[in-house]
Amino acid sequence: MNKKISLGAALALMFIITAVTFSITMVFSRQTFSTTVTNISEREAMYDKLSEIDSYVRANYYGTIDETYLNDYLSMGYIAGLSDRYAAYYSAEDYAKLQQENAGEIVGIGIRATKNESGFIQVTEVYPDSPAEEAGILAGDLIVKVNDIDVSADTYETAITEIGGKAGTKLSMTVRSDNKDREISEITRRVVVTPTVYPKMIGTAGYIKIVDFNENTYDQFKKAVEDLLGQGAQSFIFDLRNNTGGLIDPAIKMLDMLLPEGTIATATYRDGSTEVLGTSDANCIDKPMVVLTNESTASAAELFTQALRDYGVAKSVGTTTYGKGVMQVTHSLKDGSAVRITVAKYNPPKSENYDGVGIKPDYEVTLSEDQQKNFDNLDETTDPQLQKALELVKTSPSDQAATTTSSEDTAADTAEEATTTEETSDSTEEATTTEETSDSTEEATTTEETSESTEESSTTESTEESTTEEPAE
């Protein structure tokens, strides 16, 4: 009897569970179906509207439709409609160029240039082993004619485009140096490796300017660090001013060289899942470090900065960074074109995400208007931000510790050799305390001023708009 009751109860329980499960499944299925139907209806409405426009235009448009051009702009419009400020559509041609840039290569003559006050193309950098270098073009030269184009403010963009082109093709130029023009009848375009890392020694400090993060940046950075260490570098200054980011992988590999063991960065996706983007092993460069930043320091450059700060191995000097703490992925399409959309947010190793707010420097140092205009010509004698960085690496925590130890040893030796009264001792202690308080006050004042200055500064332009320098050609 008990067995029969137990069996019946079990069957009843199974029936109830089945019924509940079925009910729950039906509820979720209805919700999913409803959402799906809604999405399908919305998409149908979108496609119907587009079809209606297309039918009307093809029946009445007076001109001729370029189908490739039209398709590119249709795709561009879709991406623009996402309200994602970092999203982009790339035509097949633009995507091929982007891939080449990410690979650290360009097709052209190997220069970086900007527009001068007269509208001419002013060469700001000549890449090593480039056609421009072989032709004797120097930084500071003006390009006043490209093929048949007289360069001016009105023709500048056309002339810049003309300098680019396919590898193996030739162009002619008129170059002005020291107010004297010379003709370059033939210069052949070719693939040129883009330098992104510029190292030099400043005293005992190894200074490394990083202008971008592409596939070649890590190798260039590794060589730069090794070379500077070989020259006796006792500290490092990483200049990330005007570095708008690039690829995240090279930045992660570079940070692995500099950080102790731990997580370098993570990414959080829309479903709440988190992915570790990279970790660091125990091997690291144990040297004082400072990072230089400004309002155009963005994306991977910001992550590089904050990761060093999170682990306490570097201080930052300059102005508040741009505030781009989100990650984009570029997806290639069947016809060779591609779309880029934001898919996640970056998380520094230990601090909060900085998207939309930027990273405030540990030491706020601004440049004057004239210094900003003449930025490319600043050096350790005229650049107040770099001067502050040099000051900090000379008074690094390790140096301070050594100074403290030396002072303590000197005090101990003095105490052994000299006989002092108790009153003198007390007076000395009071003086020491006062001095320490004074130092602390100075530090607090500096921090407070930094905070106020940072709050007053703001950046409204996009990162891409903040620089007038043209991509290398």
In this predicted model, what pLDDT tens digit does every residue of 55-106 receive, in sequence order? 999 999 999 999 999 999 999 999 999 999 999 999 999 999 899 999 999 8
Q: What is the pLDDT of residues 336-394, one digit of tens each?
A: 999 999 999 999 999 999 999 999 999 999 999 999 989 988 999 999 999 999 999 98
Across 6-15, 26-35, 308-317, 444-453, least confident range: 444-453
Q: What per-residue confidence (pLDDT) applies to 403?
A: 36
Quick: pLDDT tens for 113-170.
Answer: 999 999 999 999 999 999 999 999 999 999 999 999 999 999 999 999 999 888 999 9
pLDDT tens digits for range 187-220: 999 999 999 999 999 999 999 999 999 999 999 9
User: Per-residue confidence at 29, pLDDT binned at 50, 70, 90?
Assistant: low
pLDDT in the model for residue 143? 97
3-state secondary structure the chain: CHHHHHHHHHHHHHHHHHHHHHHHHHHHHHHHHHHHHHHHHHHHHHHHHHHHHHHHHHHHCCCCCCHHHHHHHHHHHHHHCCCCCCCEEECHHHHHHHHHHHCCEEEECCEEEEECCCCCEEEEEECCCCHHHHCCCCCCCEEEEECCEECCCCCHHHHHHHHCCCCCCEEEEEEEECCEEEEEEEEECEEEECCCEEEEEECCEEEEEECCECCCHHHHHHHHHHHHHHCCCCEEEEECCCCCCECHHHHHHHHHHHCCCEEEEEEEECCCCEEEEEEECCCCCCCCEEEEECCCCCCHHHHHHHHHHHCCCEEEEECCCCCCCEEEEEEECCCCCEEEEEEEEEECCCCCCCCCCCCCCCEECCCCHHHHHCHHHCCCCCCHHHHHHHHHHHCCHHHHHHHHHHHHHHHHHHHHHCCCCHHHHHHHHHHHHHHHHHHHHHHHHHHHHHHHHHHHCCCCCCCHHHCCCECCC
